[in-house]
């Protein structure tokens, strides 16, 4: 890990699961300020659960999560949002029966100062003009790409320092996904660190400075994106 940049998120020995079913076994990783870090692995390896336990949707049974050197292992989602962390799930990341504007409003709900919503929403519309044009449209009627834009927009409203993204490519055509990647790179350049779970590993390697590889609930490899891309062959990672 790069010692020169400050550590934003540190996870030590994390174990978590659903009821008795353990899914994560001794997960340790770190994310620096300003980084894009990738997380890849076969389906069911525990990638989504890793994000969800970091964010607090799943309560870890063991281990610790540190954010800016503060322990946040058992902090609630609301608290983590307040600290500048946000999480976009892989599926069901929108309220289908609510409009675009209402979805954004819900994402801003727990902010103390709700009057600033208007200006923050405007910023999101500048980033995604198509959303701005159709504010009153029901989220359930949007196309795949538009849905993903809205999901990212909902995360960006609070200008997070750390954005946990779960497979933003799912449901998108390669072309649309490319524009989503450009957005991710843009927000990264503006200071948001991204922890990116991705199915499309080549893109993950290209866009991430470092990548963790998971298999059956454990991390089996940590490597720079560049080196992994150079490999050319990745079947053994799955």
Partner 1 sequence: MDYILHILIFILIYASLVQSLNLIMGYAGVVSMCHAIFSGIGAYTAALISIHLGYNFLVGMAVGFLLAGVTGALLALPSLRVRDEYLIVFTIGFQMVMFELMLTARGITEGQGGITNIPAPALLGLEFNSPYSFLPLALGITIVCFIIAWRVIHSPFGRVLKAIREDESACRALGKNSLRFKVLVFALGGGLAAIGGSTLAYYLTFISPFSFSVDISIFLIVMVVMGGAANFWGPLVGAAILVGLPEVLRFIPGTADIIDVLREFLYGIILMLFMLFRPQGILPEYLGRKQKLTLPGSKALQELGDNQAIETPRPLDEKNISLPAVEIQGLSKSFGGLQAVKDVSLTLPFGKITGLIGPNGCGKTTVFNLITGHLIPNGGTVYIRGKDMTNKPPYRVVSSGLARSWQDVRIFNGMTVLENVLVARPNQTGESLLSLIFKPWRVAEEEKENIRKAFEYLNLVGLQEKADQLAVSLSPTEQKLIALSRLLATECPILLLDEPTAALDLESVKRIINLIKKIAKQKQKTVLLVEHNLDVVRGLVENAYFMSDGEILAHGQIHELIADPKLAEVYFGIE
Partner 2 sequence: MKILLWQLLVNGIITGSLYALAGVSWGIIYRTTHIFHFSHQLVFAVAGYAAALVTSQTPLPFYFGFLTAIIAAVALGCGIEIFLYRNLRRLKATQTTIFLASMGLAIAGIALILFFFRSNPRSLKGLPAIMLSMGPTNFTAVDLALVIVSWIMIGLLLLLLAKWRYGKAIRAVGSNLELAKNLGLNPENIYLLVFAIGSALFGIGAFLFTARNCAFPTMGLLPFFMSFTAVFLGGISSIAGHALAGLILGLAETLGMIVLPGEYRIIIVFVILFVVIIIKPEGLLSPKRG
| Site for partner 2, rule CB under 8 A | 55, 57, 76-78, 80-82, 87, 89, 92-98, 102, 105-107, 109-110, 114, 154
CB 148, min distance to partner 1, A: 14
- For residue 113 the two structure tokens come to 């100062």
Q: Give the shortest CB-170-to-partner 1 separation in angstroms.
A: 6
Note the residues at the interface with partner 1 (CB under 8 A): 17, 20-23, 25, 42-46, 167, 169-171, 174, 198-204, 206, 215-218, 233-235, 238
Of the pair 8, 204, the CB lying nearest partner 1 is at 204
To partner 2, the closest distance from the beta carbon of 88 in angstroms equals 8
Considering the complex, what minimum distance in angstroms separates the CB of residue 79 from partner 2?
8
Q: Is the dihedral of CA 126, 128, 133, 137 positive or negative?
A: negative
Binds 217, which of partner 2, partner 1, none (CB < 5 to 8 A, cut-off by type)?
partner 1
Q: Tell me the torsion sign for CA atoms 197, 199, 205, 207.
A: negative
Q: How far apart are CA 19 and CA 3, in angstroms?
A: 37
Choose among partner 1, partner 2, none what residue 98 binds, the Cβ cut-off being 5 to 8 Å by kind. partner 2
Nearer residue to partner 2 within complex by CB, 63 or 89: 89
Instruction: Choose between 135 and 199: whose C-beta lies nearer to partner 1.
Output: 199
Q: Report the residue number, 169 or 188, with the smaller CB distance to partner 1.
A: 169
Asked if residue 37 lies in contact with residue 31, where contact means CB atoms within 8 angstroms, the answer is yes
CA 75 to chain centre: 18
Residue 154 interaction partner, one of partner 1, partner 2, none, beta carbon < 5-8 Å per kind: partner 2
CA-to-CA distance for 214 and 46, rounded, in angstroms?
Answer: 7
Using the minimum distance from each CB to partner 2, give the nearer residue, 81 or 183. 81
The span from the CA of 93 to the CA of 85, in Å, is: 16
Minimum Å distance from CB 152 to partner 2? Answer: 14
The DSSP H or E segment spanning 203 is helix 201-207
70 binds, among partner 1, partner 2, none (CB under 5 to 8 A by kind): none
Instruction: Using alpha carbons, select from 146, 27, 35, 40 the residue that is nearest to residue 96.
Output: 146
Provide the 3-class DSSP secondary structure of residue 229: helix
Cα distance between residue 138 and residue 186, in whole Å: 27
Locus of tokens 């799943």: 58
């Amino acid at each position: 890990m790069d010692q020169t940049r400050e550590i934003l998120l540190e996870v030590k020995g994390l174990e978590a699961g659903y009821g008795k079913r353990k899914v994560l076994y001794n997960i340790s990783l770190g994310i620096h300020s300003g980084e894009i870090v990738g997380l890849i692995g076969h389906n069911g390896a525990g990638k989504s659960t890793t994000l969800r336990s970091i964010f607090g949707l799943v309560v870890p049974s063991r281990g610790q999560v540190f954010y800016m050197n503060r322990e946040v292992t058992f902090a609630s989602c609301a608290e983590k949002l307040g600290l500048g962390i946000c999480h976009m799930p892989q599926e069901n990341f929108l309220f289908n029966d609510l409009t675009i504007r209402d979805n954004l409003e819900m994402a801003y709900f727990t902010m103390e100062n709700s009057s600033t919503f208007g200006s923050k929403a405007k910023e999101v519309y500048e980033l995604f003009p198509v959303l701005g044009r159709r504010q009153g449209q029901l989220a359930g009627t949007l196309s795949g790409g538009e849905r993903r834009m809205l999901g990212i927009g909902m995360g960006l409203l609070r200008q997070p320092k750390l954005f946990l993204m779960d497979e933003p490519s799912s449901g998108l055509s390669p072309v649309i996904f490319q524009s989503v990647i450009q957005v991710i790179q843009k927000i990264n350049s503006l200071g948001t660190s991204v922890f990116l779970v991705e199915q499309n590993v080549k893109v993950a390697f290209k866009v991430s400075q470092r990548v963790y590889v998971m298999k059956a609930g454990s991390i089996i490899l940590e490597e720079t994106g560049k080196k992994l891309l150079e490999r050319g062959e990745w079947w053994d990672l799955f």
